């Protein structure tokens, strides 16, 4: 890949390997509304303005107030727009037209980048599911009989998906400690994170139609990070028989920069061997394992490095499963991987696992201990992946701080 005419220092991670899409406004300038941008070096490039200045055929989708129009435009447009961004940022002939539309990244406020339609959360890490099974159902086999036959998932609450940086109020509700005969009411005492990877659908599908596992890249626009905040005590009391509800629905945080699938070609890897072999509708030509390396920080200290390449089910298999019954897709549908946990203790993607349900507190370098989250705690998830020509794709971060229960 040629170099950009933009000075890469200071190194902020976002170079030509990523070119993610986000939605921003400039502080103190709310009246101007939100705009679509890409992160490059220490800047955000206003893509609508750059498109108009260069006479781009994509000025309409890039000049919209959010990513909805670009998502709906479909894969050929996604590919042409990405190629156009590279051209703008590498060809010195475009510098004069494009440079005026660079905004200092520190000066912008980032927004939820698209309108969320439905939200599905999967449960695709064998290590996570095994650990949770051992903790929640110690008298049974850790994996349920269906787990290796289908990617287990459930619908979450779209309306409480919030952008990184949004404060999270500690949820309140019913929980039943084992020592109590009846449920008690109050703030959750076991508030947790789940480090996940999210996917957003661009191209919809019709009701009654299936999307094949090899059609993944025709429908999914991009990838981002997601923190599926979880109240373990609310969840444990409510989830039998119809699954998680209030233990999850209070908030889900997402990173503001959507990394297009086109940036992840070099990150594709084989997924773990699936035994038993899944049914034909879950088998693809070429696997969609993705070598994303996550990092979870609690109050600035790294507490886990979950390896996404270890996920048992891929996002392509999840999409095929989600639609095999004829359920339609809409532009803006979000689905998430489920907690990313690797085989090692230091690769577990939630505190439930890291502290083994509170029995083994984790020690932070500042001398404090944690089992679950305390008020004021801040959690940040970041990730990188291999880019083209030895480069690195960056996902930015999803962060959130816990406020006391109201």
Q: Which residues are catalytic?
A: 128
Q: Which residues are CB-contacts of 121 (< 8 A; sequence separation ≥ 6)?
A: 153, 154, 155, 156, 196, 228, 248, 335, 336, 338
As a whole number of angstroms, the distance between CA 13 and CA 123 comes to 29
CA distance 221 to 202: 5
Considering the complex, state which of residue 105 and residue 170 has its C-beta at the smaller distance from its own copies: 170
- Binding its own copies by CB under 8 A: which of 92, 207, 275, 367? 207
Which tokens is 74 given? 């479909």
Q: Segment contacting its own copies (CB under 8 A): 75-83, 178-186, 258-266, 303-311?
A: 178-186
Interface with its own copies (CB under 8 A), residue from 27, 57, 177, 326:
326
**Separation CA 327–CA 323 (nearest Å):** 5
Part of the chain binding its own copies (CB under 8 A), chosen from 22-30, 201-209, 285-293, 382-390: 201-209
Nearer to its own copies, 80 or 176 (CB): 176
- Binding residue for its own copies (CB under 8 A) from 1, 93, 155, 343? 155
What backbone torsions phi and psi does residue 142 show, to the nearest 5 degrees? -65, -40
Q: Does 373 interact with its own copies (rule: CB under 8 A)?
A: no
Q: Residue 12 Cβ, how far from its own copies at the closest point, in Å?
A: 30
**Residues 119-138: x where in contact with its own copies by CB under 8 A, - otherwise, as a string:** xx--x---------x--xx-
Report if residue 375 touches its own copies, rule: CB under 8 A: no
Q: Rule CB under 8 A: is residue 149 a binding residue for its own copies?
A: yes
Nearest to 304 by CA among 250, 338, 342, 348: 348
Residue 189 near its own copies by CB under 8 A = no
Residues 3-32 that bind its own copies (CB under 8 A): none
Q: Is residue 227 classed as helix, strand or coil in its secondary structure?
A: strand
Beta strand 362-363 with 369-370: parallel, antiparallel or unpaired? antiparallel
Q: How far is the CB of 250 from its own copies (least distance, A)?
A: 4
Q: Does 246 bind its own copies (CB under 8 A)?
A: yes
Binding of its own copies at residue 274 (CB under 8 A)? no
Query: Is the bond preceding 241 in cis, omega lying within 30 degrees of 0?
Result: yes
Residues 6+ apart with CB under 8 A from 344: none
In the structure encoding, which two tokens stand for residue 243, read together?
């699954």
Q: How far is the CB of 339 from its own copies (least distance, A)?
A: 12
**Residue among 85, 23, 75 nearest 331 (CA):** 75
Reduced to 3 states (helix: H, G, I; strand: E, B; else coil), residue 363 is strand
**Residue numbers of the site for its own copies (CB under 8 A)?**
117-120, 123, 133, 136-137, 144-146, 149-150, 152-160, 162, 169, 171-174, 176, 182-183, 185, 188, 207-210, 231, 234, 237-247, 249-251, 276, 279-281, 321-322, 324-330, 333, 403, 406
């Amino acid at each position: 890949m040629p170099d950009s005419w933009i000075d890469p220092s200071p190194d902020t991670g976002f170079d030509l390997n990523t070119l993610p899409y986000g939605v921003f406004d400039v502080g103190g300038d709310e009246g101007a509304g939100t705009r679509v941008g890409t992160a490059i070096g220490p800047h955000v490039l206003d893509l609508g303005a750059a498109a108009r200045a260069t006479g781009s055929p994509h000025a309409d989708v890039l000049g919209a107030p959010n990513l909805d129009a670009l998502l709906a435009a479909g894969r050929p447009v996604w590919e042409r727009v990405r190629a156009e961004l590279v051209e703008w940022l590498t060809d010195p002939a475009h510098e004069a037209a494009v440079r005026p539309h660079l905004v200092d990244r520190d000066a912008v406020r980032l927004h939820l980048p698209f309108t969320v339609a439905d939200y599905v959360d999967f449960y695709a890490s064998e290590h996570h599911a095994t650990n949770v099974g051992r903790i929640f159902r110690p008298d049974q086999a850790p994996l349920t009989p269906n787990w290796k036959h289908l990617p287990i998932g459930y619908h979450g609450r779209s309306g409480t998906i919030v952008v990184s940086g949004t404060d999270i109020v500690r949820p309140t509700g019913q929980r039943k400690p084992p020592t109590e005969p009846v449920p008690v009411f109050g703030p959750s005492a076991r508030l947790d994170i789940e480090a996940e990877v999210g996917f957003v659908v661009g191209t919809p599908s019709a009701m009654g139609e299936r999307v094949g596992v090899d059609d993944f890249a025709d429908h999914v626009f991009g990838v981002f990070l997601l923190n599926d905040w979880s109240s373990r005590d609310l969840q444990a009391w409510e989830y039998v028989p119809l699954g998680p509800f209030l233990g999850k629905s209070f908030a889900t945080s997402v990173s503001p920069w959507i990394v297009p699938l086109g940036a992840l070609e070099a990150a594709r890897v084989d997924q773990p061997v699936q035994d038993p072999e899944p049914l034909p509708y879950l088998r693809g030509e070429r696997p969609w394992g993705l070598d994303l390396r996550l990092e979870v920080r609690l109050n600035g200290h790294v507490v886990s490095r979950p390896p996404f390449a270890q996920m048992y089910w891929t996002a392509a298999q999840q999409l095929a499963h989600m639609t095999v019954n004829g359920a339609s897709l809409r532009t803006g549908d979000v689905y998430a991987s489920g907690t990313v946990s690797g085989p090692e203790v230091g690769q577990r993607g939630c505190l439930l696992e890291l502290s083994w349900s509170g029995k083994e507190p984790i020690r932070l370098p500042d001398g404090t201990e944690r089992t679950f989250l305390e008020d004021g705690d801040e959690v940040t998830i970041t990730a990188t992946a291999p880019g083209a020509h030895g480069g690195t794709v960056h996902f930015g971060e999803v962060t959130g701080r816990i406020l006391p229960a109201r």
